[in-house]
């Protein structure tokens, strides 16, 4: 595992926001996200999410599960600030994300890597240019971009497809480009919606290894999945389960994560 973490560390050596964030070394665990009685209603329909309260401990790995329609994607959209809640409090990176002025949202979003369920690749850019996008947006010198991009494409098994446009890629290939793009800037938080839904079990393991390595480098990871097998592959991960728009938290551990020191 250490070899994989080091390999990933070499690829994601660039941090895409312009300041240092607290890694895991010796730092006391803080909560990177806090939801208090959050509700979400689309239009004037019933609440899709109700009374959602939890905190995500910085540097932890979470799986989000739940039946189809339980509200996983909706919860993730609140997390990466694509959606404002109808009620409740959301604190992200220590700030109130609900009342935050719109102008500040892009800066916050840049600290979050997102793997969308429908990939959202830029259609006129090649796979390599899609992966390079976060680095270019962050102003990384052009001369420094090619190497991490090709290493990342190699990790997800797409070296041969680097020049291909998204429309010529299979669903699984597009998904791997989307994952490479989400992780290449070593985000502070990674949010992934069914990131292994279109790949074979062997590739799913490899992608999970990538998430796990990124997590060991300090990124807080949240993965929504139906795949029980996948969940068992990260024994240290915490489970979050949505049941009809409510978070199942009988012991209150999600609401009040135990404070712990990392080595
Ligand atoms: N933009 C929207 N407008 C109206 N209703 C929506 C919208 N997005 C989601 N919903 C509804 O909210 C509920 C939860 O949807 P959501 O996509 O969050 O569930 P999910 O758990 O991610 O499902 P799946 O596993 O099938 O992706 C569903 O009933 C869905 O129809």
CATH number at residue 113: 3.40.50.300
Q: Is residue 173 part of a domain?
A: yes
- Expressed as residue numbers, the domain containing 51 is 2-21+29-248
Q: What is the pLDDT of residues 12-70, one digit of tens each?
A: 876 554 444 444 443 445 899 999 999 999 999 999 999 999 999 999 999 999 999 99
Question: Does a structural domain hold residue 262?
Answer: no
Report pLDDT digits (tens) over 77-134: 999 999 999 999 999 998 999 998 889 888 888 899 999 999 999 999 999 999 999 9
Decide whether any atom of ligand 1 lies within 6 Å of the 2 Cβ: no
* 263 occurs within a structural domain: no
Domain count, the chain: 1
CB environment 85-119: b (16+ within 10 A), e (fewer): beebebbbbeeebbebeeeeeeebebbbbbbbbeb
Q: 68: CA distance to ligand 1 center in Å? A: 8
Judged by DSSP in three states, 193 sits in strand
pTM of the full structure: 0.91
Ligand 1 proximity of 68 Cβ (cutoff 6 Å) = yes
């Amino acid at each position: 595992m250490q070899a994989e973490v080091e390999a990933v560390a070499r690829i994601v050596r660039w941090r895409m926001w312009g300041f240092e964030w607290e890694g895991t070394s010796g730092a006391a665990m803080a909560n990177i996200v806090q939801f208090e009685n959050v509700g979400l209603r689309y239009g004037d329909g019933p609440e899709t999410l109700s009374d959602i309260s939890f905190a995500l401990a910085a540097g932890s790995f979470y799986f989000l599960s739940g039946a189809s329609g339980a509200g996983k994607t909706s919860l993730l959209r609140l997390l990466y600030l694509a959606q404002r809640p109808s009620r409740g409090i959301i604190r992200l990176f220590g700030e109130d994300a609900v009342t935050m002025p719109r102008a500040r949202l892009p800066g916050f979003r840049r600290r979050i890597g997102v793997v969308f369920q429908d990939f959202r690749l830029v259609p006129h850019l090649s796979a390599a240019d899609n992966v390079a996008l976060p680095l270019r947006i962050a102003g990384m010198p052009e001369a420094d971009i090619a190497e991490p991009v090709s290493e990342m494409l190699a990790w997800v098994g797409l070296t041969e497809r680097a020049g291909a446009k998204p429309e010529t890629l299979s669903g699984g290939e597009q998904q791997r480009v989307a994952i490479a793009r989400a992780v290449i800037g070593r985000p502070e938080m990674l949010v992934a919606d069914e990131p292994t839904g279109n790949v074979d079990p062997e590739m799913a393991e490899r992608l999970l290894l990538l998430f796990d390595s990124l997590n060991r480098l300090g990124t807080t990871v949240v993965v929504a999945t139906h795949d029980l097998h996948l969940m068992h592959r990260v024994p240290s991960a915490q489970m979050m389960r949505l049941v009809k728009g409510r978070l199942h938290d009988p012991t209150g551990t999600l609401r009040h994560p135990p404070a712990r020191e990392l080595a």
